[in-house]
Chains A and B, each alone.
Chain A
Amino acid sequence: MKSANLHSVETMGLVDGPGIRTVFFLQGCPLKCSYCHNPDSQHFMGGNSITVDEVLNTAKRYREYYDASGGGVTFSGGEALMQGEFVAEAFKTLKENGISTCLDTSGYGVVRHYDSVLKYTDHILLDIKQVDDDEHFQLTGRNMDGIKHFIEVLKGFKGRVTIRHVMVPDQTDNYEMMDRILEMIASIQKKVDKIEILPYHKAGTEKYSQLNIPYKFEMVPAMDPVKAQVYEAYINARLETMKIMESEHLKAV
């Protein structure tokens, strides 16, 4: 598959994986998160076509920035894993040209391409929306089978993983939530470099009125970023403890 359906390109991605990254947002997402900030990227129709060569040629123009910052290319969406065959090919070509690769995903895609994508991926940003099946369905329109399976697959992944969670006030801003995220990722915790708790914010919601679709989170207030930081500190501290315990345990046996 030599081309993909592209939503847009952001040449200065500074919060999309390590260093400075060129972010390719692919069009189409199987999840319909209530708080999605890019509802225009959800639909599988629309967008522009992009080829592997075009990805490489664009990326090469930013090589100086990658070299200076430890950055590279990130594929995001929409849901990049839905166009896994293309992502695998593009990542393979980028790696051959010495460019680091990062995948920003919610773990829902075309399962048969997972192995080939992961083979050429250096870093994964894994979005965990919810820990409860019903809540997950409420929020995204899908149950948790997809993400659970993807975490299973990640056991064989050689790179690093950053976990992300969008914290919504009165829904996920509690310690039990933090503990359950840790349970979910326990099998891959060695690979997890950090967990980012992103406070839900209201910027960009005008896209909904422009697209003439209702915004279900209209009445939900923004998450206090300072509180989110407290949870972030907690969950990362626990993650580190668990990693130490695991390695001690391994040493013991």
Chain B
Amino acid sequence: MIKDKIDVRDFIQKNYKPYTGDDSFLCGKTEKTKVIWDKAEALIEEEIEKGIVDIETTVFSGIANFEAGYIDRANEVVVGFQTDAPLKRIMNPYGGFRMLESSLKAYDYTMSDEMSDRFQEFRRTHNDGVFGAYTDEMKLVRSVGLLTGLPDAYGRGRIIGDYRRIALYGTERLISEKLRDFNELSNAPAIEDMIKSREELSMQIEALKAMEIMAKAYEYDISKPAQNANEAVQHFYFGYLAAIKENNGAAMSLGRNTAFLDVFIERDIEKGILTEESAQELIDQLVIKLRMVRHLRTPDYNTLFAGDPTWVTESIGGMGVDGRPLVTKTAYRFLNTLTNLTPAPEPNMTVLWSKDLPDNFKRYCAKMSIETGAIQYENDDLMRPIYGDDYGIACCVSPMKIGKDMQFFGARTNLAKALLYSVNEGKDEFKFSKDGSVIEVVSGIEPLKSDGPLIYDEVMDRFKAVMDKLAGIYVNTMNTIHCMHDKYAYESGQMALHDSSVHRYMAFGVAGLSIIADSLSAIKYAKVTPVRNEQGIAVDFKIDGEFPMFGNDDDRADQLAVEVLEYFSKELKKHQTYRNAEHTLSVLTITSNVVYGKKTGATPDGRGKGEPFAPGANPMHGRDTKGALASLNSVSKLPFEGVCQDGISNTFSIVPAALGRVESDRRNNLAGILDGYFAKKAFHLNVNVLSRELLMDAIANPSKYPTLTIRVSGYAVHFNRLTREQKEEVIKRTFHERV
């Protein structure tokens, strides 16, 4: 008998119950959850204070390499930590050994000489591989910061395993499917691609077997399908746990699981073997586990990605292609953890917004945003036509079909710097050689013909020439990185939870978009004269006259941003990618907008040397003068489909009183803002509902706000974990506060 294909979506569609009611059915936390959460919270607070709780230094990362760990076995209804104790971090050497060594050193830990020597003697890492194959040009664009945050010394992440498959099918079935796929490749010619595919399938099978061993340590058998809600949650979590034991990727996201888990929960409730209290207990305890995911990283990493984020992104809601909402009671239960367990940055709650979502759910999300500030919203009506109704978000804004797509994460290029290269003949404006001479980064960029004020067409021609060259370097750099990552740090556990034939994206990114739009606008509509140093490098700009700025719904400025994105995307697509991945692009900066700014000279829009960029696709602080919706409208014009299909992030902060005079007005207005913004084809909105005064008080009295959570670019952080500079930058951002 031929069994049905692996198809989790089909199971959901045939069995789930959409829920259109309100939140009145929700329960608080149980006694057991209270005990667990109190212990967990105490540990998390200790960690915020100390920086780290512990590191497992006797063994390296791996799915089945750790003993079982508990926080309070009698009260844990969902079990499993990455190591044998909560918040104890894993040493993962495969991304890069030096990164591991400096992380240990930063926290005053050591591993045995034997482990260190043996590993380095017998094993190359991803980082070794990449630097062995990087060209001088690639090293140069990296060191001047034209390309930054590249995953060449750490795990790339951004891969979502379909963790639900463990619960639905059991590993036995998954292994037999993989064996069948392997055998199907047996007769194909043994060229490199085919050999690689077969080896990867073997590694995936080994990973599935390792998962069984891991689960067994916790006295669970995941070889067979889950029989009830408790097992469904637990087996699903084991799938994710395997991923975070094996990998330390920047973003280790969870997928889209609430409708799936809801089928098991509702079935048990109907059978009378589960109550609403115990259903909430399962979800609360799952979320506690997700809040305790940790990776060992250097403190430097934190200046780039503030607040030790793990991007356990869970995509919630959205609509089915058949028009039924994918909102279930478990979507509510998941969001309800923000009430039961106090707000927290992880898991990264991401609501897939559609105009057709049930009104009750829209109001509930708005309520939770107002109360907790812990939700981000992404446009399901934009994504569903491309990805169907079983996609999820990786990291902040990267959509992919669960179990069918994966992506090669590619950080981002500093486009503001690229623009400066166009007026500096390809030379860096910020970094000079040790002897003080200029560094030419991009060759063949002609000098400007005229000396005086910048001429738009002249600058644009050169900017395009810089982007042409940059696109080639960027694609080739990414190809090198991901070839080596597959070779030395392949995510066998996560890929075992994908279809064997997977669609790959290569996700490029840009930073500094609003600076580009404003700079080009200044050059076009005002008079901008470069101030050059003795070496002829433009180190400042004199601006005469006014010019339209991005963020005011003024097409003159906004279209410049659109034009640059379309052009750069087109240029990237001219270059062949590793494993024929599909090119995508994001406008996202995480919190690195501060670091990018630090390494970039003064720009023609009037931004001073070293000053922060605006985050993601946000307009520059204080330049949006017509109120928030004009600002949102500007961002909504940035093209998603086919251009910025790896996401466009936008962060919005508003004072509670400015949302409306009474609670019901506030909810309606926030839901209305989201409806309107997404109807305009915008992609993403981070919503913070808080005041600048509160944040200033939190800087002065951090102990008063141990768990204050704010949303930055595409994720949330504990405010206390930001650096001083990052805190100040957040405070500088526009707060909508008209009351």
Among A11-19, A87-95, A144-152, A153-161, the stretch in contact with B = A11-19
B672 contacts partner chain A, Cβ-Cβ < 8 Å: yes
User: Judging by beta carbons under 8 Å apart, are B553 and A12 in contact?
Assistant: no
User: Judging by beta carbons under 8 Å apart, are A14 and B665 in contact?
Assistant: yes
Known: A12-B736, A15-B661. A68 touches B626 (CB 8 A): no
Residue of B nearest to A63 (CB): B676
Within the complex, which residue of A12, A15, A69, A196 is in contact with B675, where a contact is CB–CB below 8 Å? Answer: A69
User: Judging by beta carbons under 8 Å apart, are B661 and A11 in contact?
Assistant: no
User: Judging by beta carbons under 8 Å apart, are A20 and B626 in contact?
Assistant: no
Residue of B nearest to A69 (CB): B672
Residues of A within 8 A of B633 (CB): 11, 61-62
User: Judging by beta carbons under 8 Å apart, are A65 and B676 in contact?
Assistant: yes
A115 contacts partner chain B, Cβ-Cβ < 8 Å: no
A67 contacts partner chain B, Cβ-Cβ < 8 Å: yes
Known: A11-B629, A61-B633. A68 touches B736 (CB 8 A): no
Known: A10-B626, A68-B679. A20 touches B739 (CB 8 A): no
A70 to B669, CA, bound (A): 10
B98 contacts partner chain A, Cβ-Cβ < 8 Å: no
User: Judging by beta carbons under 8 Å apart, are A14 and B659 in contact?
Assistant: yes
Known: A11-B627, A11-B630, A61-B553. A19 touches B736 (CB 8 A): no
A177 to B629, CA, bound (A): 38
Q: Return B661 CB to nearest CB of chain A, in Å.
A: 6
A53 contacts partner chain B, Cβ-Cβ < 8 Å: no
Known: A9-B627, A10-B626, A68-B679. A15 touches B739 (CB 8 A): yes
Chain B, residues 163-206, CB within 8 Å of chain A (1/0): the string is 00000000000000000000000000000000000000000000
User: Judging by beta carbons under 8 Å apart, are A65 and B629 in contact?
Assistant: yes
A246 contacts partner chain B, Cβ-Cβ < 8 Å: no
The B663-716 residues at the A interface (CB cut-off 8 A) are 665, 668-669, 671-673, 675-677, 679-680
B628 contacts partner chain A, Cβ-Cβ < 8 Å: yes
A64 contacts partner chain B, Cβ-Cβ < 8 Å: yes
User: Judging by beta carbons under 8 Å apart, are B628 and A11 in contact?
Assistant: yes
User: Judging by beta carbons under 8 Å apart, are A20 and B628 in contact?
Assistant: no
Within the complex, which residue of B355, B553, B665, B679 is in contact with A11, where a contact is CB–CB below 8 Å? Answer: B553
Known: A12-B627, A15-B661. A68 touches B671 (CB 8 A): yes
Chain A, residues 7-45, CB within 8 Å of chain B (1/0): the string is 001111111000110100000000000000000000000
A71 contacts partner chain B, Cβ-Cβ < 8 Å: yes
Residues of A within 8 A of B677 (CB): 64-65
A71 to B671, CA, bound (A): 13
Q: Return B618 CB to nearest CB of chain A, in Å.
A: 15
Residues of A within 8 A of B661 (CB): 15, 196
The A175-217 residues at the B interface (CB cut-off 8 A) are 196, 201, 203
B133 contacts partner chain A, Cβ-Cβ < 8 Å: no
Residues of B within 8 A of A64 (CB): 675-677, 679-680
The bracket for how many chain A residues form the interface is 20 to 34
Known: A19-B668, A61-B553. A12 touches B739 (CB 8 A): no
B658 contacts partner chain A, Cβ-Cβ < 8 Å: yes
A10 to B630, CA, bound (A): 9
B660 contacts partner chain A, Cβ-Cβ < 8 Å: yes
B14 contacts partner chain A, Cβ-Cβ < 8 Å: no
A13 to B665, CA, bound (A): 12
Q: Give the number of A-B contacts (CB < 8 Å).
A: 82
Residue of A nearest to B676 (CB): A65
Pick from A12, A22, A71, A201 the residue with the most CB of B within 10 Å.
A12
User: Judging by beta carbons under 8 Å apart, are B738 and A10 in contact?
Assistant: yes
Residue of A nearest to B681 (CB): A64
Residue of A nearest to B678 (CB): A64
A141 to B111, CA, bound (A): 79
Residue of B nearest to A14 (CB): B669
The B322-376 residues at the A interface (CB cut-off 8 A) are 355
Residues of A within 8 A of B675 (CB): 64-65, 67-69
A61 to B630, CA, bound (A): 9
Residues of B within 8 A of A10 (CB): 626-627, 738
User: Judging by beta carbons under 8 Å apart, are B673 and A11 in contact?
Assistant: no
User: Judging by beta carbons under 8 Å apart, are B676 and A15 in contact?
Assistant: no
User: Judging by beta carbons under 8 Å apart, are A19 and B626 in contact?
Assistant: no
The B542-557 residues at the A interface (CB cut-off 8 A) are 553
Residues of A within 8 A of B737 (CB): 203
Q: Return B190 CB to nearest CB of chain A, in Å.
A: 56
User: Judging by beta carbons under 8 Å apart, are B738 and A71 in contact?
Assistant: no
A22 to B736, CA, bound (A): 14
A66 to B680, CA, bound (A): 12
User: Judging by beta carbons under 8 Å apart, are A69 and B553 in contact?
Assistant: no
Q: Return B327 CB to nearest CB of chain A, in Å.
A: 18
Q: Return A205 CB to nearest CB of chain B, in Å.
A: 14
Residue of B nearest to A16 (CB): B738
A67 to B677, CA, bound (A): 11
A67 to B289, CA, bound (A): 41
A71 to B629, CA, bound (A): 13
Residues of A within 8 A of B553 (CB): 11, 61
Q: List 14 A-B contacts (CB under 8 A).
A: A9-B626, A9-B627, A9-B630, A10-B626, A11-B553, A11-B629, A11-B633, A13-B627, A14-B659, A15-B661, A19-B669, A65-B677, A196-B661, A201-B739
Closest 9 pairs between A and B when the two form their complex, measured CB to CB: A69-B672, A65-B676, A68-B675, A11-B627, A64-B679, A11-B629, A12-B628, A64-B676, A68-B672
**Beyond A12-B673, A12-B736, A22-B629, 12 additional pairs, beta carbon < 8 A:** A9-B630, A10-B626, A11-B553, A11-B633, A12-B627, A14-B659, A15-B661, A15-B738, A15-B739, A65-B672, A66-B676, A68-B673
